[in-house]
Structure 1
Amino acid sequence: MTAILYVGHDPINLQLLRSLLHKKFPHITLMEATNGVEAVQQAQLHLPKLVIVDIQLPVMEEYTIPAQLQQHLPHTDMSVWAVSGFAMDQDVVRAFEAGFGRYFTKPLHLFSFVRQLRRELSS
């Protein structure tokens, strides 16, 4: 089973990802977490191939999620991507320095996002 873990608390963003995966990647299981603490717990239980983090989460500062996952799951090769409405250069740099492998700004350019998902899921 190939799984993606989405970490976010906005129901509209979650529904968009659900619809996108259902249409383009029906074989993918989508797991959900509303904050970083739940994300680490879900990742430990299910070992998703990809974790997509919506920046601006409650409870745990979202920029710590890649390090938390690495600490709790040091021998896995899951990718961690950021999705954010923040588009300034310093926001992107901060995300990469925190350990995110990719950074997508909202509104998502769906063609590019799907292309990157295909690459990630086929590797």
Structure 2
Amino acid sequence: MMNKKSKKILYIEDDPDARALMADIIRYQGYTYIEASRGLEGIRLAKLHKPDLILIDLMLPDMQGSEVTTHLKSLPELRDIPIISLTGASTENVREYVLTAGCDGYISKPINVNEFIFKLEEFLAGKREFVPPEYEKEFLQRYNVELVERLKRKVSELESLNKNLSRLNADLIASREELANYNDLLFYLNSLANYLRTLNDPQKLIKILPERIVEGFHLDRCVIFKHDPRHGTMDPVSFFGEFPSSPQGMSLPFSDQLLQLVREEGGLLWIKNYHQMVEESLQSI
């Protein structure tokens, strides 16, 4: 007589309601119940517990149940464990398909509890189902083709994922570099501010500030202008860096558009891209 308490049954199914129902059925019959919600988890638990029987759903979130079955049957220590496909799939020839993948039996959902228990005990006692020999080669070829197609899709998905990860990694590196540069600039600004506080001469401050800004912020050039509201111009009073021609003596019209722009920027106009200049008069600097 079968000692049910010593028998372990592993159920691989992603539906929590189906797992709860199966847990009640199997435990009520006196068997030890083990469950997994994903294919890889099921493989791990099968290796760990070496159950006496495995029930598996065909559709799992990470792998096909048929793929899990084929893998388990390839492991010498697990190949003799009966694997029964328990699925509601209505695909044509689904029974032949799962048996070709390596399953030892097929039970369709929804189950009749009494019939299910009877079949369960039959499989535990040694019953096995097979594809008729005249159809075995045909279904094996179809199964292998489907395996190859799924493998190609997974490789394509992994390549796409790898590209996305590479782009993300590049963005992270760029962000890290920008943050490092930003921290350096903050440190330099703080040091510059502390130094400027020591200067009591405004003219000296204006004279050295462009040089300190160019060196600290790695800019091409810096010009400090003085606004002449009477003539509507701006005249350079201090500058440093590389210029197409010397700004000395240059007098530029100070338009209402430029005045508004300077006001919006708090009096400091920082031009990062020459081509983005909206004021034509600035393009000569």
RMSD: 1.7
C-alpha deviation, 1:3, in angstroms: 0.7
Q: Counterpart in 2 of 1:118?
A: 121
Q: Does 1:48 align with 2:51?
A: yes
Look up the equivalent residue of 1:120 and give its one-letter code. F
C-alpha deviation, 1:89, in angstroms: 3.8
C-alpha deviation, 1:118, in angstroms: 1.7
Look up the equivalent residue of 1:72 and give its one-letter code. L
Deviates more, 1:60-69 or 1:42-51: 60-69
Task: Provide the secondary structure at the position in 2 that maps to 1:72.
Answer: coil
Does 1 or 2 have the higher relative contact order (CA < 8 Å, sep 6+)? 1
User: How high is the TM-score relative to the length of structure 2?
Assistant: 0.40
Match of 2:65 among 62, 67, 80: 62
Is contact 1:40–1:72 with CA below 8 Å preserved after alignment?
A: no
> How has the CA–CA distance of structure 1 residues 115 and 44 changed in structure 2, closer, same or farther, with 3 Å as cutoff?
same
Q: Does 1:6 align with 2:19?
A: no
Match of 1:18 among 16, 23, 46: 23
Look up the equivalent residue of 2:86 and give its one-letter code. V
Greater Cα radius of gyration, structure 1 or 2: 2
In the alignment, the residues of structure 1 paired with residue 97 and residue 79 of structure 2 have an alpha-carbon distance, to the nearest angstrom, of 23
Task: Provide the secondary structure at the position in 1 that maps to 2:93.
Answer: helix
In the alignment, the residues of structure 1 paired with residue 35 and residue 69 of structure 2 have an alpha-carbon distance, to the nearest angstrom, of 16
> How has the CA–CA distance of structure 1 residues 121 and 96 changed in structure 2, closer, same or farther, with 3 Å as cutoff?
closer
In the alignment, the residues of structure 2 paired with residue 102 and residue 90 of structure 1 have an alpha-carbon distance, to the nearest angstrom, of 14
Aligned residues: 121
Is contact 2:40–2:63 with CA below 8 Å preserved after alignment?
A: yes
In the alignment, the residues of structure 2 paired with residue 46 and residue 22 of structure 1 have an alpha-carbon distance, to the nearest angstrom, of 17
In the alignment, the residues of structure 1 paired with residue 37 and residue 102 of structure 2 have an alpha-carbon distance, to the nearest angstrom, of 20
C-alpha deviation, 1:9, in angstroms: 1.1
Task: Provide the secondary structure at the position in 1 that maps to 2:107.
Answer: strand
In the alignment, the residues of structure 2 paired with residue 93 and residue 114 of structure 1 have an alpha-carbon distance, to the nearest angstrom, of 22
In the alignment, the residues of structure 1 paired with residue 19 and residue 32 of structure 2 have an alpha-carbon distance, to the nearest angstrom, of 13
In the alignment, the residues of structure 2 paired with residue 83 and residue 10 of structure 1 have an alpha-carbon distance, to the nearest angstrom, of 12
In the alignment, the residues of structure 1 paired with residue 75 and residue 96 of structure 2 have an alpha-carbon distance, to the nearest angstrom, of 24
Deviates more, 1:82-91 or 1:96-105: 82-91
Query: Which structure carries more helix by proportion?
Result: 2
Gaps of 5+ in 1: none
Match of 1:101 among 96, 99, 104: 104
In the alignment, the residues of structure 2 paired with residue 54 and residue 88 of structure 1 have an alpha-carbon distance, to the nearest angstrom, of 14
In the alignment, the residues of structure 2 paired with residue 6 and residue 66 of structure 1 have an alpha-carbon distance, to the nearest angstrom, of 12
Look up the equivalent residue of 2:57 and give its one-letter code. D
Task: Provide the secondary structure at the position in 2 that maps to 1:41.
Answer: helix
C-alpha deviation, 1:122, in angstroms: 4.0
Match of 2:85 among 65, 82, 85: 82
In the alignment, the residues of structure 1 paired with residue 78 and residue 15 of structure 2 have an alpha-carbon distance, to the nearest angstrom, of 30
User: How high is the TM-score relative to the length of structure 1?
Assistant: 0.87
In the alignment, the residues of structure 1 paired with residue 95 and residue 80 of structure 2 have an alpha-carbon distance, to the nearest angstrom, of 22
In the alignment, the residues of structure 2 paired with residue 77 and residue 60 of structure 1 have an alpha-carbon distance, to the nearest angstrom, of 21
Is contact 1:2–1:29 with CA below 8 Å preserved after alignment?
A: yes
